[in-house]
Amino acid sequence: MSQPIPKHENPGWPIDGGHRAWLSTFGAWWAMFITFGWVNSLGVFQSYYEQNLLQNYSSSEIAWIASVQQCLTYSAGILLGKVFDDYGPRWLLIIGGFAQVFGLMMTSISTEYYQVFLSQAICSALGASAVMYGTVGSLATWWKARRATAYGIAISGSSIGGVIFPIMVNRLMPRVGFGWTMRAVAFIILVGALIAIATIRSNRSHAPTLFKIASYCTPLREMTFALLCLAMAVFGFGLFLPFNFIPLEGQALGMSMELSIYSIVILNAASVFGRIIPGFLADKFGRFNMMMVCTTMSAILTLAVWLPGRSNAASLCFSAFFGFFSGCYISLTPALVVEVSPPSEIGHRTGMLYFCISIGVLAGSPIAGALVEANGGDYTYLKIFAGITMLSGAVLIGVGWTSQDRIQTFEPSCWYNSDHQVRLAKCLVHINGSELELYRSILHLPPWEIRERMAHLPESEYDRVWSIIKREKDVQELEEAIAGRDLVQLALTNPSEIIENTQLKYTLLGRTIHYADEARMVTRITDDVAGNGEILISKMANFDRHASPFGLDAWKLVYCDVCYFDGDSAVLQNIYEARLREEELQTPAERARELVRCDKLKQARMNAKWMIPAIERDLAEEQAPTYLIQEESPQAESKDKEIIERLLAQQSYKQVLQRLWKQVSPAPPSWVQNIIDTQEQWGFVYYVSREVIEKHGHYWKSFWGRINNTGPPNRVSYATIHCQSSDNWRSLRMLASENWPLFQPDETLAEDDDLRKHFKEYIQNNRSQTKDGKKKKKRKRKNKDGNDDVLSPGILQNTFIVVPDEMISGSRNREERDLIDPCWVWAYDADWDSSEEETVVDGEKYQGRVKVAKWSLEAWLYAARWEGVNFKDMWLKAQQHPEKFWICYTKRLEEWDHEPYI
């Protein structure tokens, strides 16, 4: 049941623009100003506490105040993020703003270490954390294509705060004292909190969900998210050390206290540009890419500039450049979280990531302070520690970035499918042209304005560009929907979320997300199959006539599995063997796929279940597709390339299809071999009963279809074999049987049998090879009159199939006629008018005519296709069967009564 949308939310508002999005961004800027901006200014208090308020405590002990404040600002999100997911930003902003202001007010009257610690490091930090997580989560709901830019703009507020607050504290402290300085800061933070409360909204619905420890920790099982958390945590050990120790190190080297304070100002001022510009570039060149570049540069600057620098100029130069590149870390971190997170878990995952960062933040400053004391007040060890931890974090980000292809290939539940969709989309459509860049640049505009700006393009070119951009948007939305989640785990714990999201469901099943790709892929893998990919398959294997069993849907499922690698490293061959043995699906990935499969494709799944392993075996023998049969997979790049090349290559299954069909289909009953062993062409007459003629006269012909006896043998179908009306044909084609009626006719034809005489004359008139011109003209006249509508190559000699009178009554519609007697037709044996003969079928006696199950006729087609021969050469001598009477059991094929697998 859907949850009600809170009143303060407007899920209908557009994204990537609009006054609501920009208003929330404006409020987010103020929120970052009062939270991160204040946290970035804590370095100014380190020197004040050491020299004044807390001068009896060591540098390491005092550093715990800033470290705990920074740590709680980040780590509290592991709980507050879940609060945002469940309830939205409003209460987080209100309670958080109050707690931050209250904590600073209490700090202003503190005189003891524990008082400062509780008020500034605990209370104020928790309030700032609540405001921050309510802001970060909300902003993600308003932006997609320009998300990194929006975060950069918003988080630049923290840099502005980092500029203003140190100057403000430095100016006010000597004039009004510590207490009123803290109160003045608290009043400014109060104004910012009120603005944030008034402007920040979420663009999605929020509803409380059950808290489970197991599911709460699930994101850490995803490789991409786990690497991201580890990288950010390691980098956090060194990131904030320059913010906290640059003033102290500068004063130790002879820098004035005022200039040392301004080194923090310069660092934060440069960070303003470092948060906006990289964010804009990240939307163009990739958010992971930009993060890796900036974190690497931050580490290099620490080791190459700050470490050897001993002058004021070197310190200030480092502050400027480090502020620019480290700003990317602050602004892009939430954008990366959103990129690998589902919308419903943004707050939860953001809090989890920042909790990991808080470990480094908490331990970094005390470790650095201890290193300074151990080195006799020298900051060399601190700088080395900061540089190495930041460089290690940058390397881990690079590992995660470069390993995405491998993760996506062998972990389909996380990344494989989305990356594969991107590559497949680029392979299937040649993307080029300046028009694409123009379209991308105006994609955020309303549709009418986009069309107006693209009016210079011809209609066909505009449609082409639109199709390509639509495909790109589909892929982007897919990646955002997946967001690094383990879809297998999600399907096992909450399958409804995947079932309700077509993109997630298709991704888990390995299907394409763009509407044209599956049909295009079916066309490729079936070579020159006409239409929608069903005709070739139907010619040879469509015996059960159920929902196009080897048609488009079945081939889609084949494609899905050919492209799919089980997330638990099970090869397809093992999976198929287990399926065919009806064993329990062992791997979590198989169980997950089973939960989200669509019942509408039941028959196609049944057929594909038998079809895929046969293709695999056949191709393994002839074409050796290593990606299907090797247990040890090659490198991801070569494997992915091989799959793409194979899928895009022109392939033909014509040669294997008939063998495939015999492998996947149950054999006809053994007694059929008595018929199969003898092949001879037989005439087959469709006739109408005397009762129908007497009642309807010659109008009965309108209920029969014309027999098309021409064309290639492999194009013979129901329409060319059975000449009943279309209504009867439709009901015939849906049926199949394991057993069918047979009888033993009398070889001697009675000349006085009017019906047989008619049959013989008809054969002579229409099949005679004589050159008699009169007979030709006579035959031509009969053809013109439509009298040959009753002749067809057929099943049994001297067998007449009739449609019962009630089936062709014009007073009923098709549905009513089918309800009367949808399963039977009447057949007359060779001696139908002999009063002495009785025909027994299922214990019922008939004089002359036999009630025959419609689906019994299917069995003849079944046997013909089993042999892969011409239908006309397949209708065999019935007298080879030892039984005397027709066998009319109507049992369906049990072999096809399997559970679907895909």
pTM across the whole model: 0.45
| pLDDT given for residue 344 in this prediction | 65
Neighbour count for residue 481 (Cβ, 10 Å): 19
Q: Report the helix count and the strand count for the chain, using DSSP H and E.
A: 42, 7
Q: Which residue has the higher pLDDT, 781 or 520?
A: 520
| pLDDT given for residue 567 in this prediction | 40
Buried b / exposed e along 215-234 (16+ C-beta atoms within 10 A):
beebbeebbbbebbbbbbbb
Residue 274 one-letter amino acid: G
Residue of 394, 340, 323, 350 lying closest to 156 (CA atoms): 323
Instruction: Burial-class residue 497 by CB neighbours within 10 Å (0-12, 13-18, 19+).
Output: middle
Neighbour count for residue 589 (Cβ, 10 Å): 25
Instruction: Burial-class residue 74 by CB neighbours within 10 Å (0-12, 13-18, 19+).
Output: buried
- What's the Cα-to-Cα distance from 410 to each of 13, 435, 579, 593, 817, rounded to whole Å? 38, 36, 21, 16, 55
Both ends of the chain: CA-CA distance in Å?
Answer: 27
Structure confidence at residue 705 as a pLDDT band (50, 70, 90): very low
Structure confidence at residue 102 as a pLDDT band (50, 70, 90): very high
Backbone phi, psi, residue 585, to 5° = -70, 115
The position carrying tokens 């954390």 is 129
Structure confidence at residue 248 as a pLDDT band (50, 70, 90): confident
Q: Which residue has the higher pLDDT, 367 or 877?
A: 367
Backbone phi, psi, residue 798, to 5° = 60, 30
Half-sphere exposure of 199 (CA within 13 A, CB side): 22
pLDDT digit string, tens, across residues 761-780? 444 454 343 334 444 444 44
Q: Which residue has the higher pLDDT, 841 or 4?
A: 841
| 825, containing H or E segment | strand 824-828
Instruction: Burial-class residue 777 by CB neighbours within 10 Å (0-12, 13-18, 19+).
Output: exposed
724 forms beta bridges with: 704
Backbone phi, psi, residue 287, to 5° = -75, -40
| CA 446 to chain centroid | 27
- Contact at 8 Å (CB) between 270 and 323? yes
The answer on pLDDT for 198 being more than 80 is: yes
Go through the chain and tell me how many residues it has: 902
The one-character DSSP state at 426 is H
Alpha-carbon distance 155 to 132, whole Å?
10
- What's the Cα-to-Cα distance from 740 to each of 287, 750, 818, 878, rounded to whole Å? 66, 27, 21, 12
- Contact at 8 Å (CB) between 306 and 242? yes
On average, the pLDDT of the chain sits at 61
| Mean pLDDT along residues 675-704 | 38
The answer on pLDDT for 106 being more than 60 is: yes
pLDDT digit string, tens, across residues 718-748? 332 332 333 333 333 332 222 223 323 333 3
The answer on pLDDT for 828 being more than 80 is: no
pLDDT digit string, tens, across residues 300-350? 988 888 888 878 888 888 888 888 888 888 778 888 877 777 666 777 788
| pLDDT given for residue 258 in this prediction | 74
3-state secondary structure 546-585: CCCCCCHHHHHHHHHHHCCCCCCCCCHHHHHHHHHCCCCC
Q: What phi-psi label fits residue 348: left (phi over 0), alpha (psi between -120 and 50 degrees) or beta?
A: alpha
Of these ranges, 167-181, 449-463, 476-490, 642-656, the one predicted with the greatest mean pLDDT is 167-181
Domain ranges of the chain: 19-205+218-402, 480-664, 671-896
Alpha-carbon distance 192 to 28, whole Å?
10
CATH of 19-205+218-402, one of 1.20.1250.20, 3.40.50.2300, 3.40.50.720, 3.40.720.10: 1.20.1250.20
Task: Collapse the DSSP code of 686 into the 3-class scheme (helix H, G, I; strand E, B; otherwise coil) and give the result.
Answer: strand
Alpha-carbon distance 655 to 241, whole Å?
69
Alpha-carbon distance 618 to 369, whole Å?
69
pLDDT digit string, tens, across residues 574-599? 444 444 444 444 567 666 776 776 55
What tokens were used for 5? 């949308």
| Mean pLDDT along residues 377-394 | 87
Instruction: Dump strand ranges (E) for 650-716.
Output: 683-686
| pLDDT given for residue 434 in this prediction | 52
| pLDDT given for residue 522 in this prediction | 53
Q: Which residue has the higher pLDDT, 73 or 430?
A: 73
The answer on pLDDT for 252 being more than 70 is: yes
